[in-house]
Amino acid sequence: MTAFKDKVVWITGASSGIGEALALAFAEEGAKLVLTARREAELQRVKNKTGLPDHHVLIIPMDVTDFEKAAPAAEQVIGHFGRIDIMVHNAGISQRSYIQDTDFEVYRKLMDVNFFSTVALTKAILPHMVAQKSGHFVVISSVAGKIGTIMRSGYNAAKHAVIGFYDSLRAEGYKDNIQVTTVLPGYIKTNISLNALNAAGDKFGKMDRNQQNGIPAEECAERILQAVKNNKREIYIGGFREVAGLYMKRFFPGFVFNQVRKDVPE
């Protein structure tokens, strides 16, 4: 029997990339899934790929920035499965634009998707986890949540905010057996740069070279599951450069700053 057998796992951003890989990995472990993203057809595709019985996968198509839908969605999950064991906050969007060129509304959208959507769902779910005296939040932040980089100011800010918020939740939830695992991926081979926002809020539409050469989403998902099994508080996933950068930021921040200011994205 696996650690996730019959656990109810809710994943946002489940229609592609890391979210899809996590859905398949949790399904392999025998979990019951709740899949959320905007594209219902893609969610259905992922559901079919899991091979799970129909009643073991609940699809909730939703734009996570429709904050008023968070509470009804949580009630729908409780009504279907009776509980929520693991909440994976994976929905996100990146950015490729300089601060002086970026519309304010782009920053608002970056914060809404990457930060406030997680707060809204957490506020809706937390009372249920407190009542059952168990629960685990898995929060996909980023290396950008520790290291601010060029052309990603709003994305960096949102991912920093996520880390701070869930550090607080980890401390507050301890007495109720609420766990938090914060995940800091580096370059993972997904379409995140293609879908990133430019200065006007349109799609960037280009694949970053580093992203193209990143580690597979499936490998990232497996490492996340292992971290959740072991109740890790924070994990770094990526190549040598990104992970080394995180440790260098801690001990040699001046060196990292000098490198980052030279590292202009393609």
Residue 10, Cβ neighbours under 10 Å: how many? Answer: 25
17 has pLDDT over 90: yes
Catalytic pick from 98, 107, 155, 166?
155
More confident residue, 109 or 247: 109
Report, as an integer, the average pLDDT of 109-129: 98
pLDDT at 244: 79
By percentage, how much of the chain surpasses pLDDT 90? Answer: 80
62 has pLDDT over 50: yes
Report, as an integer, the average pLDDT of 239-244: 78
Residues in the chain: 266
174 has pLDDT over 60: yes
Residue 243, Cβ neighbours under 10 Å: how many? Answer: 15
Q: Is 107 considered catalytic here?
A: no
pLDDT at 261: 73
How far apart are alpha carbons 235 and 44 in whole angstroms? Answer: 30
Report, as an integer, the average pLDDT of 222-247: 90
Task: Give me the domains of the chain, ranges plus CATH numbers.
Answer: 8-260 (3.40.50.720)
22 has pLDDT over 50: yes
Place of tokens 């879908």: 195
Q: What is the pTM of this model?
A: 0.93
pLDDT at 264: 59
Token pair listed for 159: 């991912």
pLDDT at 1: 44
Report, as an integer, the average pLDDT of 182-198: 93
Contact 217, 21 (CB under 8 A): yes
